[in-house]
Amino acid sequence: MQRSKRMQPVLDQTQREEAAAREALAQAQQALTEAIQQVNDLEAYEQDYMSQMRNHSQSIRTASTYHSYHTFLTKLALAIRQQVGLVELREKQQAKCLLDWQASKSRLSNMESFIQRIRAEEDAAADKKLQQQLDEMSLQRFIARQRKPGRSS
């Protein structure tokens, strides 16, 4: 069996690894996008809530109502900070997935180049062998013609 054919399972595995790394990268990018959108949504909600609170500040009659508004805003700010932390985590995960994908893509490219070189060497060896066989046949015909009776050298 040719060496290039023996390398096919290795190439197949390398292709599967690259595809898995590409999928992981896509998932990490999606998770990052979703986390960023969640931060944006929370911040927009916070701004809207604060605006409503300012607009209704005259209707706040008791310290208890004000305290409830303030407590809610504090919890909302905490949720935003936690979500920002999640965005930072997702960014790190996405960066790692990107590096992993780049490495697997490089391995795949190297493997494809290696197999291409092997095939070129195999083709060159086959061409050389064919040429040697053709040369040998030509030589044998020449010798056979030289040995025929009645031919003088």
14-23, 50-59, 79-88, 107-116: segment of lowest average pLDDT: 50-59
Query: Is 139 a member of any domain?
Result: no
- Residue 59 confidence (pLDDT) above 80: no
CA-to-CA dists, residue 2 to 9, 20, 44, 67, 115, angstroms:
13, 29, 64, 79, 11
pLDDT tier, 151 (very low <50, low <70, confident <90, very high otherwise)? low
Query: Is 106 a member of any domain?
Result: yes
Q: In terms of pTM, does the model score above 0.85?
A: no
Query: Is 128 a member of any domain?
Result: no
Query: Is 100 a member of any domain?
Result: yes
Specify the number of domains making up the chain: 1
Contact 73, 49 (CB under 8 A): yes
pLDDT tens digit string along 22-37? 999 999 999 999 999 9
Query: Is 136 a member of any domain?
Result: no
CA-to-CA dists, residue 16 to 52, 67, 84, 85, 116, angstroms:
53, 57, 34, 33, 19
CATH of the domain at 93: 1.10.287.1700
Question: Per-residue DSSP letters for 103-120?
Answer: HHHHHHHHHHHHHHHHHH
Query: Is 52 a member of any domain?
Result: yes
pLDDT top residue among 95 and 61: 95
Distance CA 4, CA 120 (A): 10
Mean pLDDT of the region 73-100: 97
Token code pair at residue 47:
């701004």
User: Each residue of 5-22: b (16+ CB within 10 Å) or e?
Assistant: eebeeeeeebeebbeebe
Domain that holds residue 86: 3-118
Query: Is 112 a member of any domain?
Result: yes
Query: Is 8 a member of any domain?
Result: yes
